[in-house]
Structure 1
C-alpha cells in the first residue's frame, strides 16, 4: 500500500511549517479539552500523534484507522471546580462621592457545580462535583481500509454555583454559570491510505447550553451623584414640596433613594442550541514505529442559541424612575436622558444569541526513543478572539436597559457584553512509560496561558493562566479488555487592581456594562480536580 514519497512527506511538511511559523512559546486556553478524554488528560492533552481509541473522534479522527477490530468504550469522569475571590477598595476609592463599599474586605464563599440536562433544563441541584459518563463504538471489517465510529462526550464545560450563601459578594458577577457542549452523536470514519499515512473525518453533533443567573449592581459615578443629591435634598420622611415642582428626586420615597452599591436587579438567561454540528479533519503520519506526526482541524460554528430571559428589578431603580416622573420637571429630564417612564418589577420573554464555538487546530508529534519510554508534544490554537463581544437579542425593549441609554446603549432590545478574548497558541507535554507489555503509565503537563487577557478577566469566566498536571495508568488484559484510570489537577491565580479589568472593576463613567466591583482590587484563583475512568473491550 506504499504511495509516492512526496505524498507521504506532506503531513511532515505541514507540521514543520506550523512549528516554524509559531516560534514564540505562548499558550492559550479556556475550556477546550478539559472534559473530553480521561487518557488525554493524563498526557496534558498531547495526543494528536497518538490518539487514544475512540477519543480519536475528537483529537484526530485519522487515528481511528489504527483500530482493526469492533470495540466498545465506556468512560466516566468526576470533576469539581473551586473558585475564590476577595475584594478590597483601591487607592482613593470614590464612586460619585461614595467612599465606603459594603463589599470592602469581603470574600466569596462556597462554590458548587450544576449541570444542564438536555430536554429538561437546569435542575436546582447544588453538587460538590459532577460525574459525566461517555460512550463510544468502533467498527472495522477485516481487510477494509475503513474504520467507522461514533461516540458521546462533553466537548466543553464550565459550571459555577454561588447560591449556597445568599449574601456571597460573587453573586453580582455570576450566581450561577453553566456553559456546556455535549456531543451526543459523532459519525466518524478513519481511512488507511498507506502503511504509514491515515486520514479521518468526524461530524460531532452537539447540544449546547448557556445559562447565566446573576444579581446586578451598578457602582457608577452618575448613580453616586444622584444618590448624594438625594441625601442632601430629600428629608428622611420622603416628602419635599419644592421637589414636586422640580425633578422629583424624592418622589420614590425611601426605597427610591439611589446608591451605587445597592442591588439593582437579577438577570436570568437560559439559552440552548439542540442541534449544532461541526467538522473534524485529521491526518496521521507514522513513517517509523518510534515516530509519528498528527494534525487535526476542529471546525468552529456560529452557534445560534434561543431561549428565555427574566429581569427582576429591585425597588431602587423602579421607585427612582417613578419618582422622577412625578415631578414637574422630572419627565423632561427623563426624556432628555432617555429614561423609561416606568420599569416593571418583572420583565421576561424569549431571546436569541449567536455565540461562536471556536475553531481549534492542533498538531503533535510522538517520539519513542526506546522501547519503554514515549514522549508526546502538541501545539494547539483556538480562535477565542471571536469572543470579542457577545450580543443577546430580546423580543421587546428591556426597560432596565433603557436606563443605560445615557451610556451609549441606543438599542434596549439588545444587550452587548464586551469580552475582548484573544486567540493564542497552547502547548501540551506527555510521557508514557511501558514497564510491561500490558501496563502503561502516563504523566502530563499543560501550561494554559489564558485567552482571557488580564484586563478582561471577571468572575463569570475566572480563568487566568493555569497549569494542568495529569497522571494515569492503563492495563490491558489478555482478552483485549483495557482499563484506564486518570487523575489531574488544574490551578491558577489572578490579581486585578482597581480599574484593571473593564469586564469587572473599572470605574470610568461609561463602564456601566458591566463592572460590579468598580474601584475594587480583586484577587482570586481557580482549582479543578478531575478523576477519570475508561473501560474498553471487543464486541
Structure 2
C-alpha cells in the first residue's frame, strides 16, 4: 500500500471510509437476533425445542413436529420487545490522531435508544418507539386418519432495531443513527409426514420479506486526515488565499470551510434496501423411540439474498471544499488525474443500488429427555455458517464519486464494491426445562449462552453483538375446551470492552488504516440488553 505523499494517502482514506460504513452495516441482521422473535414458547426454553417442536412453530424449528398434530388448529401470538444498547468513549493512552490530541467525544456516552419498524409496501415510518409489538399467525390442517399434516404461518424470523435520533448530538450517531433490519416470513407452506409411530419427517418453505435500512452520520478521525488538517493550519492563512499555494496543490483553495478536522462530521449516509420475495427450505426429522426420549434435527437452508433499493450520500462542506480547493491549484488537477481523484464531490449523490447478502445455512440438533412424568429436559446444539460472510457485494447505478479513487486498490469499477467481513461459524447450545405440576399446567425455564459470530476485533455500534446470555421463563395452561394459552418472558444481556485499536470496524488509529473507524484511538465499552414478553393462544377450528 503506497503512502508516498499525503496527497496520495488522503484520497485512499476518503472514499473507502464512506463506502465501508454502508458495507459493514449489514451484519446486524445476523448473529444477534436469530431465533429471538420466532416463538414465544421456544424463548421460554432457550430455543431448545428441536426434539419437541411446539405447535405451528415447528415450521421453523423442525417441520417434522407438525406430524404430531392430529387436528385442525389455529395459533395466534403477540410479542413485545425492547432493545437497549449503550456505549462510553474515553481517549486511550497517548491519544494522538495526526497531531490532534483532544477528541470532543472524550468522556461521553450514548443516549436514549428507541425502536422502529419497517412496513412492507410502505417503508419505515418516522416513529420512535420504546419497544415494538409484533403479531404472529399460523394454521395447521389434519384430516383424520391421514399421515400428512399441512401448515402455514407468518412470523418474524429476525429483527434488529436501533434509533439514536432522540438526542441529535448522541455520539453513537457516527455509527448508526437509525438501524432497521428485519426478516418477516409472511407465508410458509409446510408438510409433516408420519412415517411410523416413532419416526416423522417434515418440509417447510418459509417465504420472507427482508429489509435493511441504515442512516448514519460519519466522521473519519484517521491519522492521514489529522496530518492533512495540521498541514493546512501551518500553511494556510485563516481566511485562505496563500499565493504560493495556488502554484502548488491547492491546500488552501477551499477556504475556511475546506480546512480538514478529523473529528468533524464529514457526511451522512442513508441506505434503504428490501428483498420482497426470498424463499428458503427447512427439512426436519423427529425420532421418538420412547415416550421419555426423542431426537430431532432441522436443516434450514441458506440463500444469497439479493436486495434492491436506494442510497444517498450527503457530503459536508469540509470535504467538498477541500476537493474543490485541490483542483484550484496548479498541480492539484494533475495529481488528481494521475490518481483517478474526482474533480468534485457533489453535496448530494443518490440513486438505486443492489446488494447480495448471504443468508447462511443453519443446522440444529436436539434431544428431549423426560426421566419422570413431571420433568422434561431439552438440550440443543446449533451451527450457522456465518463464516461464509467473507465478502458483501454492493452495486450502484452510477459511478459514485467517493469510490472513484478505489482504483488505487485494484478496483477498476467504481459502481461495484466487494468488502471482506471475516465472520466465524460457531456452535451454540440451548437448555430448557419443563415441569408438569398437573395435566393442564406446564412451567418452562430456559438458558441460551449465545456466542457471537462477530469476533471482538470486528465489533462496532452498528452491530454491537458480543457474547450474550438469554434467560427465559414461561407457563402454559390447557383448558378443557382444547384452548391453550402460553405466556413467556425473557431477558438477554451482553457486554463488550474494546481498548483503542482493538476493533478495526470502530476504533483503530494506525497511519494506514482506511476502514471506517469513527472512534479511532478511543477505548469503547458498551452493552446490549433485550427484554421480551409474549403470549401464544391456540385452539381448534
Normalised by the size of structure 1, how large is the TM-score?
Answer: 0.93
Q: Deviations over 1:198-223 (max 9, x none)?
A: 00000000000111111111111211
More off after superposition, 369-378 vs 28-37: 28-37
- Among residues 111, 126, 129, which one is paired with 1:127 in the alignment? 129
Distance 1:107 1:408, change over 3 A: farther
Deviation at 1:30, TM superposition (A): 2.8
Task: State the distance in 1 between where 2:187 and 2:63 align.
Answer: 14
Gaps of 5+ in 1: 1-27
Deviation at 1:416, TM superposition (A): 4.0
Distance 1:85 1:407, change over 3 A: farther
Task: State the distance in 2 between where 1:267 and 1:409 align.
Answer: 22
Task: State the distance in 2 between where 1:203 and 1:365 align.
Answer: 24
Deviation at 1:401, TM superposition (A): 2.6
2:354 corresponds in structure 1 to 352
SS at 1:171's partner residue? Answer: helix
Deviation at 1:415, TM superposition (A): 4.0
Task: State the distance in 1 between where 2:53 and 2:125 align.
Answer: 35
Give yes or no for contact 1:145–1:191 (8 Å, CA) kept in 2. yes
Matches within 5 A, 1:397-412: 397-402=399-404, 410-412=412-414
Deviation at 1:509, TM superposition (A): 3.4
Q: Deviations over 1:408-460 (max 9, x none)?
A: 76543234444321110000000000000000000000000111111111111
- Among residues 24, 46, 49, which one is paired with 1:47 in the alignment? 49
Matches within 5 A, 1:151-300: 151-300=153-302
Task: State the distance in 2 between where 1:214 and 1:362 align.
Answer: 35
Give yes or no for contact 2:472–2:491 (8 Å, CA) kept in 1. yes
Task: State the distance in 1 between where 2:309 and 2:456 align.
Answer: 31
Task: State the distance in 1 between where 2:479 and 2:353 align.
Answer: 53
Deviation at 1:335, TM superposition (A): 2.5
Matches within 5 A, 1:409-420: 410-420=412-422
2:13 corresponds in structure 1 to none
Deviation at 1:104, TM superposition (A): 1.1
- Among residues 132, 140, 143, which one is paired with 1:141 in the alignment? 143
Task: State the distance in 2 between where 1:138 and 1:406 align.
Answer: 58
Gaps of 5+ in 2: 1-29
Give yes or no for contact 1:419–1:503 (8 Å, CA) kept in 2. no
Deviation at 1:404, TM superposition (A): 5.6
Task: State the distance in 2 between where 1:408 and 1:317 align.
Answer: 24
Is residue 2:316 matched to residue 1:314?
Answer: yes
1:336 corresponds in structure 2 to 338
Distance 1:237 1:29, change over 3 A: closer
Task: State the distance in 2 between where 1:210 and 1:125 align.
Answer: 17
2:59 corresponds in structure 1 to 57
Give yes or no for contact 2:46–2:470 (8 Å, CA) kept in 1. yes
Q: Deviations over 1:69-110 (max 9, x none)?
A: 000000010000000011111122121111111111111111
Distance 1:260 1:338, change over 3 A: farther
SS at 1:304's partner residue? Answer: strand
Deviation at 1:405, TM superposition (A): 5.3
1:430 corresponds in structure 2 to 432
> CA RMSD of the aligned region, Å?
1.3
Normalised by the size of structure 2, how large is the TM-score?
Answer: 0.93
2:72 corresponds in structure 1 to 70
Deviation at 1:510, TM superposition (A): 3.8
Distance 1:168 1:524, change over 3 A: same
More off after superposition, 515-524 vs 388-397: 388-397
